Structure 1
Amino acid sequence: MPRKRDKSQLSLFHVPIYKRVWFKRLVGALILLGVLGALGTLIFLKPYYDRAQEFDLDEIDNVDLASVIYDRRGVEVGLIFADENREHIEIDDLPYHLVQALVAAEDSRFYEHRGVDFMGIARAAILNFKAGATTQGASTITQQLARNAFDLRERSIERKLVEAFLASRIEDEFTKSEILELYFNRVYFGPRAYGIRAASRRYFSKEPADLTIDEAALLCGLVKAPNRLSPLRNPEGAIGTRNNVLRRMAVEGMISEDEAKALQEKPLTLNPELANTSHPYPYIEVRKQLESVLTPEQLATGGFKIYTTLDTKLQEVAEQSLIKRLAEVEARRGYPHQTFAQYQAAENRAQLTGGEVEREYLQGATLVIDNQSGGILAMVGGRNYADNKFNIALWARRRAGTGFLPFIYGAAFERGMFPGTEVDDEPIDNKRVMVGDVVGILGEWGAESEEVFYEEKIPARRALVNSKIAASVRIGEEVGLKNVVDFARRAGVDVPKEMENFPSTFVGQTETTLAEYCRAYSFMAHGGKGPNQLHLVTRVLDRNGEEIYRRFDEDTSVEVTDPVTAFQLHSCLKESLSQGTAAKATTRYGLKEMDAGGQTSTAYGFTDNWFIGYNSRITCGVWAGLNRPQSIYEGAFSSDTILPVWVDVMNASVESYPPTPIFPPAEAMRVEICRTSGKRATDYCYEDVGMLEGTDSRLVRTTYFEYVREGTDPGGLCDVHERDPDLQPDNLQLQPGEAAAPTVTSRSVIPLAPVLTGLDPYSSVQSIVQEPEKAPEKEPEVRRATVVRPVQVGGQTDDDPPFRVRLKGPGELTFEDE
């Protein structure tokens, strides 16, 4: 018979566990511990939570941005960085595959969490435990943004807690798209690459919108270790991180497995941006000028828009022409120096072998300025910035050469002379100026020719147009060296004090810069006024678009001389381009039709070549020489070396800066001068050119117009041409340049004053003189007459041929019969 169980034992055995006393006590203890733990956790975390609340989220996009330099048309010239190379870009301007690559590489659950990914933390912890080391991070994109924006750099649990609380705040304040935009514009991608736009340009020289999938994957892979994985330093590491991101994109379903494999097989192709600008010389000068208009604090923040006077189109022409034309000089047969191409080849060999390289080769510089404001339109400070970082155009002081001659004539014209004033043109003893050899005949290297002709008496115009040194020195001696130096200084050439005592200053032995020369010539096209100083920066805007600097060009010009003197100089330098030392500008190099003037300039010994010229809008100067002053080559005249560079630039400028005619000033008096005698013309100043042309007798007016200040004595009446009283006065009303019947003869005697007191209706005895008149509003077109009589030289008669002088070298002359 079965034994019955005790009911008290059965009831105790079947009581549910949650009703048992010990369990209730255990649960109570656990709850108490949980509450106490939660309270403890809250108490522990509160300081970190509070610290996270202290950060101002309005400052999250306050980053140091690159400042952008623009030319006068708004074309981007380059970037200036304070400490970081960074440019802002909108999220809508980024390709979607770039966003995908970042999410796959850094935070695959970005669109699911609210700043902290707890699942990611758990996964990273497991993986790190298995690996026995920290191989996986769990920071979300939002946490990384918080860390970078508020400089949470220390490695500690406390920093991670603050970062987590701050990430939650950011998620509450910004949308996911805004977080991505902030991140892409802030994150570091390697040296000179802060932000995605700078990184895209740095490694691929393209905008982010043009990045391919593999390029996007590479950039996003750099975020983990940008310095170590930089493709410029570690191409194998860069390929590895790129391929890992592509694999992650395939795992996340962003691209297919096949597409990922194909992209992983692609070679690494970079196109690194080598510089912050393609025009380094003006770029560096803009940076320097900014230091004078902005405070150090402003410069440190960056993000400015800097507008300049630069014209990138003209800049490119100036750069390319200088390179091309100097290479042509070096290609000349017998060129005695190392060429630039030879230097580059030697430099390449030296990089492989560690040898030394002779750095001497033909250098050059070009500068173009606005005549009125002094704004720099183009500036080439050297042939190659990588080899020559010294800006020759602004800072190199070299011998001025014969480009100094116009200042002699400017000082003379201010004191009563005018272009028609006759001057002596005979060889001069070198002791007068003490250039080169102390004894001997002063060389005429300024004439831009190895053959030099001396003429006994010539107008000042002819002396300047043909850069006749002997005649110019005589004018300078008459005017006084101090007056000449004063004129040059007013124009803009900084002549040292000691050069006031050396007559060699007359022939350009003082030193100047290309910048000084350009400024010193610009007044001739601007009524005697020149810019006070040259500049590049016109205005600056901060990152909010507020204007913080503007240059006002009003009242910045300075008066160099009076308008009459300025126009007289211009009329001579204009003729230099058609008949003088710079005639090759039109006859060989193709200068376009424009009212322009210019002066060749060759220093003694052919060490420095200059050409300075202008039109009504701009002045352009070009220089060439070697770093250590020495002869470029024997007979190296500027009309052969650098004049074509000037022509290239001036021709290119016409479209954007169309020049206007340079008219004589209203206060000038127009005087008709006989070209044959150099004196005031009469109605008898015609000569027969038919005989020279082998045709029937044909008379041409031998006059031209000069412009003088009121009260100037033009020097008497023409004493070469006279009315033949035996002939009828049928052709007295001819216009200059028109042919006539042979009713006028050339004779040597003419009354210098009226000899009749009564009427003389046919002007049978006295000359009909063209009285001075006010300058017209527009200079008349005058057909230049041909001089038909032989020029008298050295006291020879008209029947004797003139002699010519062949220039062997500065100071070395030989005389020959024609």
Structure 2
Amino acid sequence: MDYSKHSNRKRQWNKGKHPDKIYSRIWLNILRVACVSVLVCGFSLAGILLGGFMGIIDTAPDITMDSLEIDKLSTYIYDQDGNEINKIRTETQRVYIPIEEMSENLLKAVVAVEDSRFYEHNGIDIQGILRAGVVNLQASDSAEGGSTITQQVIKNLALTTDKNWTRKIQEWYLALRLEYDLTQEYGHDRAKDMILEKYLNFVNLGNSTYGVEAAANRYFNKSCKDLTLSEAAILAGVINAPTRYDPITNKNGQSQQRQQLVLRRMRDQELITEEEYQEALADPVFDRIVQLNDDYQQSNDDVYSYFVDAVLDQVQEDFVNKLGMTSSEASNKLNYGGLKIYITQDASIQEKVDSILNDASTFSATTPYYQVTYYLTVFDEKEPDNMGLADNYSFVQLHRTEEACLAAIEEYKQMKLPEGAEVGEDYAERTEIVPQPQASMSVIDYHNGHVLALYGGRGEKTQNRVFNRAVDAERQPGSTFKIIASYAAGLDTGTITAASVFDDVPFTYGDWSPGNWWGNSYEGLSNVRRGIARSMNIVTVKAMLETGVQTNFEYAKNFGFSTLTDDKMVPSLCLGAAEVTNLELTAAYGAIANGGVYIEPILYTRVEDSEGNLVLENVPESHAVIKPTTAWLLTDMMRDVVKGANGGTGTAARFSSSMDIAGKTGTTSEVNDQVFAGYTPYYVAAIWTGFDQNVYRDFDGDTQSRTLKRSFQIAIWGKVMGAIHEGLEAKTFDQPDGIVQARVCKKSGLLATDLCEEAGCAYSEYFASGTVPTDSCETHVAVTVCTESGLPPTEYCPEDLIETKIFIQRTAEQLEAINPDDYGKIQDFADELPAGQTPDDSSSDVQCNIHTKEWYEQQNNSSNIPDLPFLPPWWPEESDSSSESNTSSSPSNSATPSTPAHSDSSSPNEESRH
């Protein structure tokens, strides 16, 4: 046995141990280790969870009330008087209103059914969360909760729609943070109101309505502030499930049951009295909803006017060009931005334009037609070309009746479709039938550029933002462009005046030989005033060439035409050989009416957001095109067009004898386009009439015949403008400073002489100061002639047939430009001094070929009559010296035979001369 010290200590230690104590000590150590481990793991897990939680919070977006933007707000259109005329209809309708304009009944109803503790919690309702806890544990991939109104705002306006714990944690945090921040800044009550206002403006209330104002309008045809208790309870009930609780269908009475639930909760929460509760239950509100919906369906017109179409196109274009948006951004902003667009339309004027132009009797002066456009798509599963669509066909034709149009469609279908084909299964079709001739018109207040009315076409408008003939159709303006591309530049540069004369005779420029619209005849020497009134082509072209084609082209572009490209810089431009829109033509004439200042035509004045903040202000661009004196001279000459003076072609436009009216007609070849542009001291307007297509063909390819009465558009213009000006004071155009008058000759354009007066060609003309001619007319000349031959008399012409006649004498250059074969076509050639003659009769190469010596001998029955030794007394006197010489060398008068002029017995009688 070992009795060493070490062995003794070991025995003593073992001797003191009990087996149970040993086991307890072991477990205690294990427990100690476990506790430490649990604590370590717990802290680690808590750290991980806390870190994850903080990470989720850190990735939450920063929000403010301003950043919680509600999208898909409805855009509204207001006329110039502030009257609402349209709501832009999209798949959603929403109108933002402040909480102060919401019914108190509605606020109570929504809180009662959606978040009864709304005014008590701080953004999160813990009780609601606990109620949803069981559901949350059962679905690890999704989260449900008793969301408060604040959470609904956060969830819908700040976060994604994903259902997971990350989004839910962020939702809780942001709800708490939003309410805290708002309360700190605005106080508890105002913070709650701001959140509730945001909520009630975005919430879905069914039937494409979002927000309580849009829903109140849709279901009850009233504003939200006017809702009754029963109506408010219906809207509050719809929020939970808009389709199930649709108040229009009220399927299985579910919407009504939901309304009753809302009312009960309001009563139980002492938000309403028992009496109010019973009264609301008794209200037959669902019957009203059904009736109002029927009215809505009948009156609701989703098709905008042509004016609104043009406004929407212009606003979207301006969003891109002025605000730098993309086309997609601009479209979204326009349709869903909750905008208020204030347009320039005058509802009264628009109604008058529409009423007259939509009346078929307005076009009774011309033959009525119908244009049919037919589209046919044939499905072919065996040989698909494009997603199963094998063949696409279409045709455009013109017929006298709608029945004939339908018959043409059936004939076409028989040509293209197999027998037994069924629509929808074998083919698809689309048909458009519109009346012809068509028309467009624009009315502008030229003092500010505001477009007051637009007419885009005849016939029923079935779609939005379609082809608008007033702003989209580019048609030839005809002779209305004579003012724009010839006379305006000539007068403004001083190259021509209203009195300037051009020879209206057959004319060729290069390989172009323009003629006059009335046929193969010419007026001869004609001034600019006559050229405008009579709409003379050749005078216009010569005036343009006088000023220069390029100069005229630059002036025309300055009138605001966007379609004038460089290839249009040709002489025929002044006759309308370009395509322009009706609106731009109207604005160009407005520039003349406005003293030469062009103001860009605008369709709207400003765009505001839903809260009234300015988004876009539309200030029209303006610039001077011509001088005020030039504008007035053009206006004065175009007054002749309407008055009928100087052969004016636009007398049918004269709707008043006291109101000043100026304008110009325009008709293209083949009468494809007929235009009249004119103005008063109030407004400018232009009308176009014509066929949508210049040529129509039947199925054999032959041209279909059509007729259009010439110039009937002028009377329509007069009828419309007459209606617009009813009740307006008659005014005249103001004459600017710098206009003077002078007496000039119609045939030369120079200062008139006594001969001009005697010939009836002198008149008083207006000029811009400094442009009055200084030379006198030399075109009129006086020549003594025998009235029977029209030639200078011989010594044998009877005195009673001798007279002094006034002729016109063209220059050698003018005569050289005329083919002698054309003399008979020129009206004033009857007054032209015959070839070979001069005003000085004694030097003329020709004399009367009737009263010859032979004639004289025959009249006196003698063939042996000597030549007269003296000149007849009616012959121009010579100088005294020559008279004396002649007298001394002549026999006495008594020995001289009687002269034809003084011998009654020898003078031929009237009968013998014929």
TM class, shorter-chain normalised? 0.5 to 0.7
Q: Which residue of 1 aligns with 2:369?
A: 336
Q: For 2:64, what is the secondary structure of its paired residue?
A: helix
Identify if the C-alpha distance between structure 1 residues 701 and 183 changes in structure 2 by more than 3 Å, giving closer, same or farther. same
Q: Which residue of 1 aligns with 2:439?
A: 364
Query: Is 1:629 aligned to residue 694 of structure 2?
Result: yes
Q: Which residue of 2 aligns with 1:601?
A: 666
Q: Which residue of 1 aligns with 2:650?
A: 582
Q: Distance in 2 between matches of 1:230 and 1:442?
A: 74
Q: Distance in 2 between matches of 1:387 and 1:76?
A: 18
CA contact (8 A) 1:524 1:567 kept: yes
Q: Distance in 2 between matches of 1:239 and 1:469?
A: 77
Choose from 324, 335, 358 the match for 1:324: 358
Q: Any residues of structure 2 matched to 1:86-235 within 5 Å, and which?
A: 86-103=94-111, 105-107=113-115, 110=118, 115=123, 138-151=146-159, 153-157=161-165, 159-160=167-168, 162-164=170-172, 166-167=174-175, 173=183, 174-175=188-189, 176-189=192-205, 193-201=209-217, 206-211=222-227, 216=232, 219-226=235-242, 228=243
Unpaired runs of 5+ residues, structure 1, are 1-32, 436-440, 446-451, 688-699, 723-746, 753-791, 799-818
Q: Distance in 2 between matches of 1:563 and 1:662?
A: 10
Query: Is 1:289 aligned to residue 318 of structure 2?
Result: yes
Q: Which residue of 1 aligns with 2:8?
A: none
Considering only aligned residues, what root-mean-square deviation do their CA atoms show, in Å?
Answer: 5.6
Query: Is 1:669 aligned to residue 740 of structure 2?
Result: yes
Query: Is 1:712 aligned to residue 793 of structure 2?
Result: no
Query: Is 1:401 aligned to residue 407 of structure 2?
Result: no
Identify if the C-alpha distance between structure 1 residues 315 and 223 changes in structure 2 by more than 3 Å, giving closer, same or farther. farther
Q: Any residues of structure 2 matched to 1:440-519 within 5 Å, and which?
A: 443-444=517-518, 455=523, 457-473=525-541, 475-476=543-544, 481-493=549-561, 494-501=563-570, 504-519=572-587
CA contact (8 A) 1:289 1:537 kept: no
Query: What do residues 645-694 of structure 1 show as CA deviations (whole Å, max 9, x unaligned)?
Result: 65158527969xx977331442x33114578998756899999xxxxxxx
Whichever of the two has the greater Rg, that structure is: 2
Deviation at 1:46, TM superposition (A): 9.8
Letter in 2 for 1:396: A
Q: Which has the higher contact order (CA 8 A, sep 6+)?
A: 1
Q: Distance in 1 between matches of 2:157 and 2:369?
A: 60
CA contact (8 A) 2:353 2:455 kept: yes
| Alignment size in residue pairs | 659
Deviation at 1:338, TM superposition (A): 4.4
Q: Distance in 1 between matches of 2:522 and 2:320?
A: 54
Q: Any residues of structure 2 matched to 1:515-664 within 5 Å, and which?
A: 515-531=583-599, 533-536=600-603, 556-579=621-644, 580-586=648-654, 590-591=655-656, 593-615=658-680, 618-630=683-695, 633-640=707-714, 642-644=716-718, 647=721, 651=725, 661-664=733-736
Q: Distance in 2 between matches of 1:573 and 1:563?
A: 15
Letter in 2 for 1:585: A
Q: For 1:393, what is the secondary structure of its paired residue?
A: coil
Deviation at 1:404, TM superposition (A): 1.5
Shifted more, 540-549 versus 380-389: the winner is 540-549
Q: Distance in 2 between matches of 1:527 and 1:49?
A: 72
Identify if the C-alpha distance between structure 1 residues 296 and 118 changes in structure 2 by more than 3 Å, giving closer, same or farther. same
Letter in 1 for 2:255: R
Q: Distance in 1 between matches of 2:473 and 2:498?
A: 33
Q: For 2:195, what is the secondary structure of its paired residue?
A: helix
Q: Distance in 2 between matches of 1:611 and 1:576?
A: 11
Letter in 1 for 2:488: G
Identify if the C-alpha distance between structure 1 residues 473 and 719 changes in structure 2 by more than 3 Å, giving closer, same or farther. closer
Identify if the C-alpha distance between structure 1 residues 116 and 58 changes in structure 2 by more than 3 Å, giving closer, same or farther. closer
CA contact (8 A) 1:611 1:642 kept: no
Q: Distance in 2 between matches of 1:558 and 1:69?
A: 29
Identify if the C-alpha distance between structure 1 residues 329 and 378 changes in structure 2 by more than 3 Å, giving closer, same or farther. closer
Identify if the C-alpha distance between structure 1 residues 79 and 315 changes in structure 2 by more than 3 Å, giving closer, same or farther. farther
Deviation at 1:559, TM superposition (A): 3.9
Letter in 1 for 2:676: F
Q: Distance in 2 between matches of 1:751 and 1:266?
A: 89
Q: Distance in 2 between matches of 1:548 and 1:43?
A: 49
Shifted more, 569-578 versus 201-210: the winner is 201-210
Identify if the C-alpha distance between structure 1 residues 342 and 214 changes in structure 2 by more than 3 Å, giving closer, same or farther. farther
Identify if the C-alpha distance between structure 1 residues 121 and 295 changes in structure 2 by more than 3 Å, giving closer, same or farther. same
CA contact (8 A) 1:192 1:198 kept: no
Choose from 331, 341, 347 the match for 1:313: 347
Letter in 2 for 1:643: W
CA contact (8 A) 1:229 1:238 kept: yes
**Identity fraction in percent:** 25
Q: Which residue of 2 aligns with 1:418?
A: 497
Q: Distance in 1 between matches of 2:548 and 2:761?
A: 37
Q: Distance in 2 between matches of 1:465 and 1:90?
A: 61
Deviation at 1:291, TM superposition (A): 1.9
CA contact (8 A) 1:669 1:710 kept: no
Shifted more, 711-720 versus 308-317: the winner is 711-720
Q: For 1:291, what is the secondary structure of its paired residue?
A: helix
Shifted more, 295-304 versus 260-269: the winner is 295-304
Q: Distance in 1 between matches of 2:286 and 2:587?
A: 59
Deviation at 1:455, TM superposition (A): 4.6
Deviation at 1:571, TM superposition (A): 0.9
Q: For 1:398, what is the secondary structure of its paired residue?
A: coil
Q: For 1:320, what is the secondary structure of its paired residue?
A: helix
Deviation at 1:397, TM superposition (A): 1.7
Shifted more, 287-296 versus 671-680: the winner is 671-680
Choose from 263, 272, 281 the match for 2:285: 263
Deviation at 1:171, TM superposition (A): 5.7
Q: Distance in 1 between matches of 2:666 and 2:565?
A: 20
Unpaired runs of 5+ residues, structure 2, are 1-37, 374-399, 411-422, 696-704, 783-802, 809-825, 833-914
Q: Which residue of 2 aligns with 1:769?
A: none
Deviation at 1:489, TM superposition (A): 3.1
Q: Distance in 2 between matches of 1:598 and 1:213?
A: 62
Q: Distance in 2 between matches of 1:230 and 1:403?
A: 62
Q: Distance in 1 between matches of 2:804 and 2:262?
A: 102
CA contact (8 A) 2:154 2:171 kept: yes
Letter in 1 for 2:65: E
